[in-house]
Amino acid sequence: MGVRSIDLNADLAEECGDDEAMYRYISSASICCGRHAGSPNAMKKAVAAAVRHNVVIGAHVGYEDRANFGRSDVKMEYNELRKLTFNQIHDLLDVVNKANTRVQYVKPHGALYHRIGSDSEQAKAVVDAIAEIDSTLHILVPETGIIKSAAAGVGLTVAHEFFADRVYLPVGTLVPRTVVNSVLNDSEKISERVLHWLATGEIAANDGTQISVNAQSICLHGDTPDAVASAASIYQKCKSAGYGIKSWLSS
């Protein structure tokens, strides 16, 4: 792809992994805003760690559905979802402002992340809430026409990510988590897959075909088995191959 640096982002403050160990390998932290998981204390710890490690902070917003970790669709009207999104970002902003730092992007979580890629009303609710708070915030989202159009309508800059540990369908979307082996756990294979994508912009889909994936960031899930080992392997192999680890938001 011709890139010489790449952002590594992780979903953190969900209170289900070794967050502290992840920070040394990432350049962006998507900090859970306490609705699909996590807590106010987890947010405070995550923000403090991000500051210590000079990591860019993003707001990780999701459905208020702890029973399903925010990974099941929730039927919500426009105003309800807009308010939920708005409140979550403000919850994190309260913590960030006290730490004298800032939020630079918003990343929807789980089912909401995928839903806004195909549901224009929910996409509009999320982007409108973000734009009302700060239109300079970037939004890390799936690459679909619906979400890109919604974001453009309110002047938000979109960024996309490559999921290092998730299997893709030939159409470029993720294989659902309900499907066996949809999440990869072998850190060596995951990191080699990342290097192949960095070099070519392509990955092998679940049927073996090569598909193009456009992204400015690589997502490292913090809640999967061996998450830290995978993050370390990806970080080290990228560095050894000459790639810098740097947020797309860094100057």
Could you tell me what percent of the chain has a pLDDT over 70? 99
Looking at residue 237, its pLDDT comes to 96
| Residue 201 DSSP class | S
pLDDT band at 1 (very low <50, low <70, confident <90, very high): low
User: Structural domain boundaries of the chain?
Assistant: 5-245
pLDDT of 144 higher than 80 = yes
Looking at residue 250, its pLDDT comes to 85
Q: 173 versus 1: which is more confidently predicted? A: 173
Q: Nearest Cα to 33, choosing from 13, 6, 53?
A: 13
Cα–Cα distance, 173 to 142 (Å, whole number): 8
Looking at residue 221, its pLDDT comes to 80
Residue pair 158/113 in contact by the 8 Å Cβ criterion? no
**Residue 67 DSSP SS3:** helix
The packing angle between helices 120-133 and 145-153, to 10°, is 30
Average pLDDT of 204-217?
96
pLDDT digits (tens, 9 = 90+) for 82-137: 999 999 999 999 999 999 999 999 999 999 999 999 999 999 999 999 999 999 99
- The answer to which of 46-60, 62-76, 176-190 has the lowest mean pLDDT is 176-190
pLDDT band at 226 (very low <50, low <70, confident <90, very high): confident
5-245: CATH topology: TIM Barrel (3.20.20)
Cα–Cα distance, 102 to 109 (Å, whole number): 20
Q: Nearest Cα to 193, choosing from 156, 144, 243, 238?
A: 238
pLDDT of 225 higher than 90 = no
Looking at residue 251, its pLDDT comes to 59
The three-state DSSP-derived secondary structure of 61-107 is: ECCCCHHHCCCCCCCCCHHHHHHHHHHHHHHHHHHHHHCCCCEEEEE
Looking at residue 2, its pLDDT comes to 67
Q: Nearest Cα to 216, choosing from 150, 149, 140?
A: 140
